[in-house]
Amino acid sequence: MDALTRRRFLLASGVTGAGALAAGSLGLGFYELLKKSNGAPTAHHDPKLVLVTLYGGNDGLNTVVPYADPAYHSARPELAYAPEEALHLDDALGLNPALPGLKRLWDEKRLAIVLGVGYPKPDRSHFRSMDIWQSASPTGPVNTGWIGRWLDGTKAPVETAVSFEPVLPPLLVGRTRVGACVSYRGLTVPSWINAETVAALGHGEQGEPAMQARAAAAYADLISMERVVREAGNVSHAPDAGDAPEAPATGTGGDSALAAQLALVTRCVEAGVPTRVYSVSLGGFDTHASERVGQEYLFRQLDAAMTDFVTRMARTEAGRRVVVVVYSEFGRRVRANASDGTDHGTAGPVLVLGAGVTGGFYGEQPSLTDLDDGDLKATVDFREVFGTVLDSVLQADPAQYIDGYKGVSLPFIPPS
């Protein structure tokens, strides 16, 4: 099997590149994570990063809408938003009408939009393109993610980077370190069985296969999470713990539960957990058909979850140092297809949000007439965006972790 195929398989199996290493660290429960909190919300807070991955290829042109461009309306007559529908950001661009909360954050200068972000020689496979974004290596497949390499470089402990997704994203996989995958669903031990019996099944045993050890660890996690749910009231250090979002204790409707994932981030940030990077996601953006209905449905979830999160974060010292970055593996074709949808494309906007973010546009909106075989030409390399984040949020040297980083820092986060 060639390197690329192997990588792809590892990615799909959720054991990306980490082998034996993964078995232990994947078993971290939410409770163990919270126990790592320093319990001192007034102490110095390191800036924190929340990466929001939109799986499926979000249509950038119907996210940040070039409503004043006649080429936009002629390329997708059934799909285009009329000038009066878009939520105007300036006299050329506006937000999708399903994003009113983000518009408010824009007005408050807490939303930065980096326009036309992509990479050279775009690949239209979901899997390969997502791999490129998460590894920050467009030139060839590598077995590490850009956050994973930073974990390696800083010899970070396991709780430094956490995913609340069902499967650990390759983003958090390093050569010697790997982030933690913390599950949050279905967490009450049934009453007909004694919790000690379940806990006893959760002990790993010397020499058993890694997969079997992981199956055992799931029971240990189950017991941990039950305690977290029970003790939920005692762990939050938020000034107003009364309205702390509840950790979802049961199934929350599939992997699209962005709000539930962000509620866990909220809990961790406010409890003073030393995690620096959180990875959360929302899926379903592969809108080949009936795009307006589908994308607006997802945008309403995104808008509510992001607005609540950013507003809530602004209320605490720790929260004000949180920066959110929203990206997708590619944008979509400029021209609509015959199904009122769009096929896989290239560049799209990246959103950056937070109390410490300098709102406004960065980069340049790609032309709708000067196209590359029907697709937008990227104006900003995504490595510049991630490089800026490494520099300003993680206080690391971008060139050390991102191959091909050119040092063109985008000033969307002022130096602290």
Residue 9 or 297: the one with the smaller Cβ distance to other proteins is 9
CA distance 300 to 308: 12
Least distance in angstroms from the C-beta of 227 to other proteins? 12
Nearer of residues 45 and 333 to other proteins, judged by Cβ: 333
Q: Does 221 bind other proteins (CB under 8 A)?
A: yes
Q: How far is the CB of 202 from other proteins (least distance, A)?
A: 9
DSSP 179-234: -EE---SS----TTS-HHHHHHHT---TT--HHHHHHHHHHHHHHHHHHHHHTHHH
Out of 68, 198, 304, 399, which residue is the one contacting other proteins (CB under 8 A)?
Answer: 198
DSSP state letters, 66-102? -TT-HHHHHH-TTTPPPTTTSEESSSS-EE-TT-HHH
Among 44, 77, 90, 193, binds other proteins (CB under 8 A): 193
Query: Least CB distance from residue 13 to other proteins, whole Å?
Result: 4
Quick check: 2 binds other proteins (CB under 8 A)? yes
Closest contact distance (angstroms) between CB of 32 and other proteins is 12
29 binds other proteins (CB under 8 A): yes
DSSP state of 160: G
Tell me the two tokens of residue 296: 């607006």
Q: Is 212 in the site for other proteins (CB under 8 A)?
A: yes
167 contributes a contact to other proteins by CB under 8 A = yes
Q: Which x/- pattern, by CB under 8 A, does the window 314-353 give for other proteins?
A: ---------------------xxxxx-x-xx---------
Number of continuous H segments (helices) and E segments (strands) in the chain: 14, 12
Nearest CB to other proteins, comparing residues 100 and 283: 283
Does the protein bind other proteins through residue 211 (CB under 8 A)? Answer: yes
Q: Which amino acid is at 99?
A: L
Nearest to 114 by CA among 378, 373, 311, 302: 378
Region of 32-40, 198-206, 267-275, 307-315 interacting with other proteins (CB under 8 A): 198-206
Q: Among residues 205, 242, 369, 415, which is the contact residue for other proteins, using CB under 8 A?
A: 205
Separation CA 299–CA 290 (nearest Å): 15
178 binds other proteins (CB under 8 A): no
Asked whether position 188 contacts other proteins by CB under 8 A, the answer is yes
Q: Is 217 in the site for other proteins (CB under 8 A)?
A: yes
User: In angstroms, rounded to a whole number, what is the distance separating the alpha carbons of residues 150 and 152?
Assistant: 5
- Of 57 and 94, CB closest to other proteins: 57
Which residue's CB is nearer to other proteins, number 134 or number 307? 134
Q: How many CB atoms lie within 10 A of CB 297?
A: 13
DSSP E strands: which ranges in 337-388? 348-353, 360-363, 380-381
DSSP three-state, residue 242? helix
Contact yes or no for 149/401 (Cβ under 8 A): yes
Kindly state the tokens that stand for 370: 């000067």
In the complex, what is the shortest distance from the CB of residue 25 to other proteins, in angstroms, rounded to a whole number? 11
Shortest separation between residue 211's beta carbon and other proteins, angstroms = 5
Instruction: Tell me the one-letter amino acid at 409.
Output: S
First to last CA, the chain: 47
Handedness of CA 27, 7, 384, 395 (dihedral sign): positive
Choose between 33 and 390: whose C-beta lies nearer to other proteins: 33
Part in contact with other proteins (CB under 8 A); list of ranges 132-140, 170-178, 218-226, 395-403: 218-226
Assigned token pair, 218: 């799931």
Number of Cβ atoms within 10 Å of the Cβ of 286: 20
CB neighbourhood size of 91 (10 A): 8
- Cβ 258 to other proteins shortest distance, Å: 17
Is 257 a binding residue for other proteins by CB under 8 A? The answer is: no
Applying CB under 8 A, the residues found at the interface with other proteins are 1-2, 4-6, 8-10, 12-15, 19, 22, 26, 29, 123-125, 127-128, 166-167, 183-190, 192-193, 197-198, 200-201, 203-205, 208-219, 221-222, 224-225, 251, 288-289, 335-339, 341, 343-344
